[in-house]
Every structure is written in C-alpha cells, then in structure tokens.
Amino acid sequence: MPHGPTQLVVVADDFGRSSGVNHAVTCALTQGIVTAASLMAGGDAFEEAVRIAHDHRRLGMGLHVTVCDGQMILSSDRVPGISGRDGRFEPSPARAGARLWRRRGQLLSEVQEEIAAQFDRAERAGVVLTHVDGHHHMHMHPLVFPIVCREASRRGIRRVRIPRGDLHDGRLTEWVLFGVLGGINRRTAARHGLAASGRVHGLARTGRVDEDYLIDLLPRLGLGLNELFVHPDLDTEEGRRELAAVTSPRVREKVAELGIELVSFAGPGTGAPS
C-alpha cells in the first residue's frame, strides 16, 4: 500500500544526446523541478553531460539504454547485425523492434553486447547510476528487457522504469499495450531484484508536456513515490515547451502548495531545492 508523503522524481531523458539537451537539463535542475536525468552513452554530447553530472552531484543519474535512433558504442564490424553503415541504429523504434523479433536468434547476442558496452562507458566515466530506462521505451521490448535487468542487477542498480499509459489522456491502445508489457516485465524486474515506480507519468505526453498538464497532474499524484519523465531541449520547439513547463513558477508553487517532496532515485533529500 502507498505510504509516506507524496514524492516525485522528475527525470529528464536523452541527457548527452546534444548540447541543447544538456543545457536544458541543467536549467531544469537549477531553476525547475527536474531531479534526475537518463544518460545516452552514445550521445554526441556525452562527455559534456558527464561534466555537468560531476558538477551537479544532486542530479540523480541513470542510463538511457539505446537500441534504436541513436549512435552505437561498439563498432559495426563487431555487431554487424544491429548496426547501420554509419554506426547508428535503425531510427524507427517499430522497425527496430520487429527486426529484433524476426532475427532474434542472430541479433540477441549483439544487443546484449552493445547494452553492456553502454553501461561500461557510463561507469568508466565515473557516473554512479541509480536507475535504467530506454530511449523510445525500447527497453520494454520483451527480448530487450531481461537483458537490461541482468546488466543493471549485476552492477548494483536497483531501479528500472516500467512506463504505463494514462487513460486520463485517452490513448486506449497505448494503455493496453504498455499494461500487458508492464505486467510481464514487472515480474522479470522482481526476479533480478529491481524495483519500478508504481506510478509513472509522461508516456502519453511525450513531446507535449506543458504547464497546464503539470498543473493538472500534480494534484493527482498518489502517496509514496511517483515518477515523471520529460524531454527538455533548447534546440526544438517541443523541448523548449517542456523546459518552460518544468521551470514554470506556477508549477513550482503548486508543488510547494501540495507538499510534494522532490527526490531522486538516490533517496530523499537529493532533489531540486524548493
């Protein structure tokens, strides 16, 4: 049963993908309600993101596992089945997921090797990982999720994101799909000693989180731990809108009014300042 105060972890995804994302995340941490970020190990601005993380120790850091729409860590000759000619993954999550399912006998070992390399790169950079999730939620793929859990567990990571749709936003198909995957994957996570937040928000609003959405969401949060993921980015209209939402004075005032405790997965008291 939920217990304790209402706590909220606000995670900025795609950290390290670009300088525009990195600077937006820094602003969202220092001036807004963001308390954690998920790092893309193959991102173009990975090194800059690591420097920011070291300068802002209260930013809880996770790994944003990438198996589509991003740069690979390993060379294409090492994992030729999942690599494009330019060393990048298939850009479409749907095509990447279907291809992995059709050719799983050949590709699973390559996916496992690449995911391990992503964890390794973050750890070599001195990043202390508290959680794991996935770019475009591809970590929820039934063949990818057990790999992610095994790698996280053996490295002492104890949190994984299991997103769910929100009927409040009226997206029934998404709610059903992620409900089914969530039920299966939650049991897999438990077998590997990983916990997942019971209430995860943002799936139906990816790229569309705004001030009004947050003002509506905050009073609906349950007791105990809640998770919200966002995508602030200075280089896109959608990203700037999300940055404006998480740094909105109205939103911060509503958080204070409702007595919501901003935390990271590293524990209470490590979130953004009130």
Radius of gyration of the chain (CA): 18
Q: Residue 34 above 50 pLDDT?
A: yes
Residues 6+ apart with CB under 8 A from 199: 221, 222, 225, 226, 227
Q: Is the pLDDT of residue 60 over 60?
A: yes
Nearest Cα neighbor of 120 from 149, 152, 90, 147 is 152
What confidence tier does 232 reach under pLDDT thresholds 50, 70, 90?
very high
pLDDT in tens, 89-108: 999 999 999 999 999 999 99
Tell me the pLDDT band of 136, cut-offs 50, 70 and 90: very high
Specify the CATH class of 6-70+124-262 in words.
alpha beta
**pLDDT of the residue at 270:** 37
The count of other CB atoms within 10 Å of the CB of residue 91 is 12
- Rounded to an integer, what distance in angstroms lies between the CA atom of residue 14 and that of residue 85? 23
Q: What is the pLDDT of residue 84?
A: 80
CB 46 within 8 A of CB 18: no
Between 161-175, 208-222, 236-250, the lowest mean confidence (pLDDT) is in 161-175
* Residues found in the chain: 274
The sign of the dihedral angle between the CA atoms of 80, 83, 85, 86 is negative
Beta-carbon contacts of 243 under 8 Å, excluding residues fewer than 6 positions away, are 24, 27, 28, 32, 232, 233, 234
Residue 166 has what pLDDT?
64
Handedness of CA 49, 53, 59, 62 (dihedral sign): positive
Separation between Cα atoms, residue 201 and residue 221, nearest integer Å: 9
Q: Tell me: pLDDT of 246 over 70.
A: yes
More confident residue, 1 or 208: 208
- Sole residue written with tokens 């964890």: 119
- Rounded to an integer, the average pLDDT of 158-174 is 74
CA diameter of the chain: 55
Structural tokens at position 41: 């190990």
According to DSSP, the β-strands at 261-262 and 6-15 are parallel
pLDDT of residue 182: 76
Neighbouring C-beta atoms of residue 195, cutoff 10 Å: 15
pLDDT at 266: 80
Rounded to the nearest integer, the mean pLDDT of the chain is: 91
pTM confidence score: 0.92
